[in-house]
Chain A
């Protein structure tokens, strides 16, 4: 049996109040000392941007160009493969033709 909209609204209202009441829970302040200990242990936060953020920024900027390049390369690779296969077929056919001519005319 499904809950009616009114029943569900009543229940979620109560749950919402209970959720918001979490904000009033008391918390010890010892974590502040631990933060400062960890931070002092880490030393300074470097003002020079690291390589990773720079790289991440570049990744998104270059993403469209990279996708386009990949598509072009894929098409080129497909076309080249097709050309390669065409060349092989042509080579085989030529070889067959040549051997047939040798047999027929003794060339």
Chain B
């Protein structure tokens, strides 16, 4: 059996998401894509299984946990529909772009249809926030239990941003993509990404500042 290898992507998408996939080459991908386009729909399953890790790594981070499966379906159905237009060298990168844009569409729809008022921070969250800020002890806030609260605080803050601000902040600030990579993934200009990033960071800072109650003397 051949050793597993990494699929090459123009902007190191697979590297960034740390995904190792099976040993078949991009030529194999092209062959399967041609089969699917020619009408062999079942061949798409092997493509899906080969690249699901890349898509999962993206979707898990960008959408709420209970929406992951639905969004995964949307990504692969969209990629199936767009398969005849695929002309690139890297199917993985092409799929990453579709995955990021599907997540962006998810948030656009979510914000459009949102009727319920946004949740507010609980006392536990505020306590966690203050402890994270002013606790000088050696305890790690990256432990599993505390990470849940960290995620909830982050979700609370991100929920107060627009879909555009949210996506830019997640891609560049939280995931560490460059502005150029984020622009490619979202299909925006780099100038637009830069402006959005500046504004969204400012908003996030204001949100966290407002949420954190400064009780230095208490902590």
Contact = CB atoms under 8 A, between A and B. Distances in A.
**Which of B37, B73, B83, B85 is most buried by chain A, counting CB atoms within 10 A of its CB?**
B73
B205 A31 contact: no
Interface stretch (B41-49, B117-125, B191-199): B41-49
Interface stretch (B4-12, B23-31, B52-60): B52-60
By DSSP majority rule, is chain B's interface helix, strand, loop, or mixed? helix
Interface in B45-92: 45, 48-49, 52, 56-57, 60-61, 65, 68-70, 72-73, 76-77, 80-85
A34 B205 contact: no
Nearest to B201: A12
A35 B150 contact: no
B70 to A, nearest CB: 8
Interface stretch (B93-101, B102-110, B181-189, B207-215): B207-215
Interface size class of A (residues with CB under 8 A): 35 or more
B162 interface: no
Interface size class of B (residues with CB under 8 A): 35 or more
Interface of A: 1-3, 7-8, 10-12, 14-23, 25, 27-28, 30-32, 34-36, 38-40, 42-49, 53
Given A17-B147, A31-B70, A32-B45, 16 more contacts: A3-B133, A3-B209, A8-B209, A14-B142, A15-B150, A18-B151, A19-B154, A27-B56, A28-B69, A35-B72, A35-B73, A42-B77, A45-B82, A45-B83, A46-B84, A48-B84
